[in-house]
Amino acid sequence: MSSADEGPDDRLPQSLLDAIAPRGHTRSFPAHAILINEGDTTDSLYIVLSGRVKVYASSDDGRELVLTEYGPGGYFGELSIDGERRSASIKAIEACTCRVVQGSELRQFLAESPDFAFHLTRKLIRMVRRLTEQVRSIALQDVYGRMVRVLTELSEPVGDERVLRHKLTQKDIADRVGSSREMVNRVMKELTAGGYVGQRDGRMVILKKLPASW
């Protein structure tokens, strides 16, 4: 997975949401709640109905690398169908509600619904491609190059500018690019001084095309 939000094709269409809904139960989680811990042996699938969650890996010293985020229609936990432990942690960025489908129900639904199986297969293919791109970025790009990639992925064009879809702190950016907050702070100060980025209504705005290198 990449550190960008999931794409629209990763979200379940309403027809599949309606089909799988009777097999699960609804749970609500407050902001910052941990839904899944890396290493857990649970096997439930979570479908986000409202709110947002982040998927991340963490080190023993508490550092985090954010892999992706999910909003309404997104789902996670499907990798547990192989019976292995959870490979990443999930935290609620804001209060959220999820439809939780137990592993046994998920496996039965997979067998009975070729449309869902196809949707899941395509999602996993995109996940592998995004993960490959993220590994390439971490291995071959410097911190600035990774920041440009993430800021571009998380923003939308508005006229000649790009506006980030959600509010991000410098720590959020650091967690996404695998760097320290201090390094991100230094780069952001220079970009701000150069007139490349600014703030508007609490969200970062890319005012003009970012330099290819710094």
Summarised one tens digit per residue, pLDDT across range 69-97 is 999 999 999 988 888 899 899 999 999 99
Confidence band, pLDDT 50/70/90 cuts, at residue 139 = confident
Q: Where are the domains of the chain?
A: 8-139, 142-206
Q: Is 158 helix (H, G, I), strand (E, B) or coil?
A: strand
User: Distance between alpha carbon 202 and the CA centroid of its chain, in Å?
Assistant: 21
Tell whether the model's pLDDT for residue 140 goes beyond 90. no
Structure tokens at 86: 């959870």
Question: Helix crossing, 114-140 with 143-153: angle to 10°?
Answer: 150
Local structure of residue 174 (DSSP, 8 states): H
The residue-averaged pLDDT of 124-129 equals 90
In this predicted model, what pLDDT tens digit does every residue of 41-56 receive, in sequence order? 999 999 999 999 999 9
Between 106 and 64, residue with greater pLDDT: 106
What's this model's pTM, rounded to 2 decimal places? 0.74
Tell whether the model's pLDDT for residue 36 goes beyond 70. yes
**Residue 9, C-beta contacts closer than 8 angstroms, at least 6 positions apart:** 122, 123, 126
Residue 119 main-chain phi, psi, to 5 deg: -60, -45
Q: Is 37 helix (H, G, I), strand (E, B) or coil?
A: coil
Between 139 and 175, residue with greater pLDDT: 175
Confidence band, pLDDT 50/70/90 cuts, at residue 2 = very low
Q: Which pLDDT score, from 0 to 100, does residue 120 have? A: 94
Q: Which of 132-141, 165-174, 182-191 has the lowest mean pLDDT?
A: 132-141
Fold for the domain defined by 142-206 = Arc Repressor Mutant, subunit A (1.10.10)
In this predicted model, what pLDDT tens digit does every residue of 145-162 receive, in sequence order? 999 989 998 899 999 999
Fold for the domain defined by 8-139 = Jelly Rolls (2.60.120)
Tell whether the model's pLDDT for residue 168 goes beyond 70. yes
Q: What percent of the chain has pLDDT over 90?
A: 63
Q: Which pLDDT score, from 0 to 100, does residue 106 have? A: 94
How far, in Å, CA of 84 to CA of 206, rounded? 41
How far, in Å, CA of 48 to CA of 5, rounded? 13
How far, in Å, CA of 33 to CA of 116, rounded? 28
Contact criterion met (CB below 8 Å) for 68 and 153: no
Comparing CA positions, the residue from 24, 80, 67, 66 lying closest to residue 49 is 24
Contact criterion met (CB below 8 Å) for 69 and 93: yes
Tell whether the model's pLDDT for residue 143 goes beyond 70. yes
In this predicted model, what pLDDT tens digit does every residue of 57-72 receive, in sequence order? 988 887 888 888 999 9
Tell whether the model's pLDDT for residue 4 goes beyond 50. no
Local structure of residue 133 (DSSP, 8 states): H
Tell whether the model's pLDDT for residue 3 goes beyond 60. no
Confidence band, pLDDT 50/70/90 cuts, at residue 167 = confident
How far, in Å, CA of 176 to CA of 150, rounded? 7
